[in-house]
Amino acid sequence: MFYGFGSIIYFAILIVNAIAVLSEDRFLARIGWSSVPQPAANAGFGNDVYGQQDIGVKARIINLISAVRTLMRIPLIGINLLIIVFEILRP
């Protein structure tokens, strides 16, 4: 099934690629998953402890997707280049 660490790394890179190519305004806004600005959403943003638990699962997922898109778009270009070169050079 999994014949080595290479397949694990490819699996992870593909998943992160899939998250990174989601378009903000063409797709996520259409289905209502756009990253909401924080102070407007949670009016009762009191203590940080309560705030983290009041955010809810959906808001966290949206947060995670937007974080992956913001942070990983540029490193993913480099990683994908590396993998493409590696796949070309592999016999």
Question: Which tokens sit at 91?
Answer: 């016999």
Residue spans of alpha helices (H) in the chain: 5-20, 38-41, 48-54, 57-89
Binding site residues, another protein, CB under 8 A: 1-5, 8, 47, 49-50, 52-53, 55, 57, 60-61, 64
Nearer to another protein, 40 or 57 (CB): 57
Q: How far is the CB of 3 from another protein (least distance, A)?
A: 6
Question: How far is the C-alpha of 19 from the C-alpha of 70, rounded, in Å?
Answer: 11
Find the shortest distance in angstroms from Cβ 54 to another protein.
8
Tell me whether residue 18 or residue 81 sits nearer to another protein (CB atom).
18
| Residue 54: C-alpha distances to residues 12, 39, 49, 64, 89 (Å) | 30, 13, 9, 16, 50
Beta carbon of residue 16, minimum distance to another protein (angstroms, whole number): 13
Nearer to another protein, 60 or 73 (CB): 60
